[in-house]
Amino acid sequence: MSLLSFLVRRLVHAVFVLFGLSIVIFIIARVMPGDPARMAVGARAPQWVVDRLRAQMHLDQPLVVQYGYWLRDALQGDFGLSLVTQRPVTRDIQEFFPASLELVLFSGVLSAVGGIGLGTLSARYKDTWIDNLVRLFSYAGVVTPSFVFAILFVLLFGFTLKWFPIIGRLSENVPAPPTITGLITLDALLAGQVGTFADALKHIVLPALSLAMGSIAQEARITRASMADNLNKDYIAAARALGVPERIVMGRFLLKPSLIPTVSILGLDIAATLSIAFLVELIFNWPGLARYGMTAMLHKDLNAISAVILVLGAAFILANILVDVIVAQLDPRIRLRAARSE
C-alpha cells in the first residue's frame, strides 16, 4: 500500500469518527444541568430575553432539528456564536488554538528530547546510579499531575529564583510581532524581532516544561525498557564483536528500532496535552484552547464546547496518522507487512 492510499484511507475514517464525535458531544453538552441561555444572559434578565436567545440558538426545537441546523452551519465552517465571548466560535478558535499549538509543540520537543535522552542514558548506564536516578524521576513524573509541576516551577523559578516570567506570552513592554502563524516565537523570528523571540521563549519554557514532565518521564521509561530489551539481541552482540564503535551501536543499531513504542506513545501524549493543559494554562495565564474549552463547559457554551471537542478530536486523529507514518518509516517490517496485505 502506498503512503498516499494509506493517508486517504485514514482520512476517510477520520471523517466518520469526527461525525460520530459530533453527535456524541452534541447530546452530552445538552444533557448537562443548567439552561445555557439563562446562564448566558444572567440570573436576573427577564424571561423574554432568555426565550429570544433560545429561539436564536434553536434550543426551542427538537434535538434532531437542532443537530441539523448545527451540522448545516458546521459544514460551512460556521460553528455558531459563543455565549461567553459573544463572537463566532470559529474566530475564537483561530485566536486561541495557535497559543495552545505553540505550547504543545514546545512541550512535544521537550518530551521527545528529554524522554528519549533520559531513556537512552538510562539504558546505556543500565543498573548504575544514573539508571536508578532516572527511574526515580520517571516514577515521580508519571504520578505527578502537570499542574503540580506548574505550581512548583512558578514557586521555584518564578517566585524564588525569578529566572522566568510567570504569566502570559510576552512581557508588558515587549512589542508583539505581526501575526502570521499565531505562534509568537515563530512570528517573531519571521519578522526578525530577535528580542521578542527571546522574550516569548522565556515565557513558554515553564508552561511547556510543566506539560512535558509527565511525558518525559513516561517516554524515558518506555525508551529504556525497549532499548534494554533490544540490547540482548544477537545483532547487537554481533556488532560489538565486529568492533563497531559503541556510539554507533547505541545510536544507529539500538535506538532506531527501540523508538517505535516511544513514538507511538509520544504522538498520543502530545495530542492529549492539548486537552489537559487547562490548569497549566490557567496558572500561567496562557490564552490557550484548553482554557477556552473549560470556560465554555463551566458556562455551558454549547457551540464552543462542540467546536473545541471536534478540534481536539481532529488533533488526536492527526497525531495517530502521523505516528503511523513515522513508525512505518522507522520499521521497514511494518511497511512490508502493509504492502503484503494489500
Partner 1 sequence: MSMARKPLIVLGVLLSVFSLLATQCAPQATPAPPTQAPAATLAPATQAPAATQAPAKKRVLRITFAWPNRIDPAVGSDYVGSTSLANLYDTLVFPNAKGGIDPWLAESWDVSPDGLTYTFHLRKGVKFHDGTPLKASDVVYSFNRLKTIGEGYAYLVTPGVASVRAVDDATVEFKLEKPSALFLPSLVRLYIVNEALVRQNTKPEGPYGENGDYGKEWLQTHDAGSGPYMVKEFPLEQYLLMEKFTDWWGQFHPNAPDEVRFIGTTEAVTVRSLMENKELEISDQWQSFEAYKALEQIEGVKIAALPSMSSFYYMVNTKKPPTDDIHCRRAMAWAFDYEAAVSLEWPGTKQMVGPVPATLAGHDPNVFTFHRDLDKARGELAQCKYANELDKYPVDVHWVAEVPDEEKWALLFQSNMADIGIKVNVVKVPWLSMVENTSKLETAPHIATIYVSSDLPEAGLMLKQRYHSSTTGTWQQNEWLQDKELDAAIEDALATLDQNERFAKYAKIQQQIAELAPSIFIYDQVEKHAYRTCVDWPATRGESSVVMGYQLFAAHIGVDCP
Binding site for partner 1 (CB under 8 A): 33-34, 41-46, 48-49, 52, 56, 84-88, 92, 95-96, 121, 125, 128-130, 151, 154-155, 157-159, 161-164, 166-175, 193-196, 198-199, 201-202, 205, 282-288, 291-292, 295, 299
Is the Cβ of residue 139 or residue 159 nearer to partner 1 in the bound state? 159
* Residue with Cβ nearer partner 1 (45 or 330): 45
We find the least distance from the C-beta atom of residue 151 to partner 1, in angstroms, to be 5
Residue with cell 502521523: 322
Neighbours of 208 (CB within 10 A): 26
Q: Considering the complex, what minimum distance in angstroms separates the CB of residue 99 from partner 1?
A: 8
Whichever of 8 and 156 has its CB closer to partner 1, that residue is: 156
CB 184 within 8 A of CB 196: yes
Q: Which is nearer to partner 1, 167 or 327 (CB)?
A: 167
Smallest separation, CB 82 to partner 1 (Å): 10
Among 67, 69, 74, 102, which Cα is nearest to 88's?
Answer: 74
Angle at 107 between CA 103 and CA 109, to 5 degrees: 120
- Which helix (H) or strand (E) element contains residue 212? helix 194-231
Give the shortest CB-340-to-partner 1 separation in angstroms: 42
User: Which residue in 58, 91, 67 sits closest to 19, CA to CA?
Assistant: 67
Nearer residue to partner 1 within complex by CB, 34 or 68: 34
Are 47 and 38 spatial neighbours (Cβ–Cβ below 8 Å)? Answer: no
Name the residue nearer to partner 1 (CB basis): 42 or 332. Answer: 42
Closer Cβ to partner 1, 4 or 43, answer by number: 43
Contacts of 79 (CB under 8 A, 6+ apart): 73, 88, 89, 90, 93, 303, 304, 306, 307
**Residue indicated by cell numbers 529566572:** 163
d(CA 317, CA 104): 16
Shortest distance, position 88 Cβ to partner 1, whole Å: 8
The CB-of-161 to partner 1 minimum distance in angstroms stands at 8
Collapsed DSSP state (helix, strand, coil) of residue 81: strand
Tell me the three cell numbers of residue 245.
Answer: 564503535
> Least distance to partner 1 from the beta carbon of 234, Å?
23
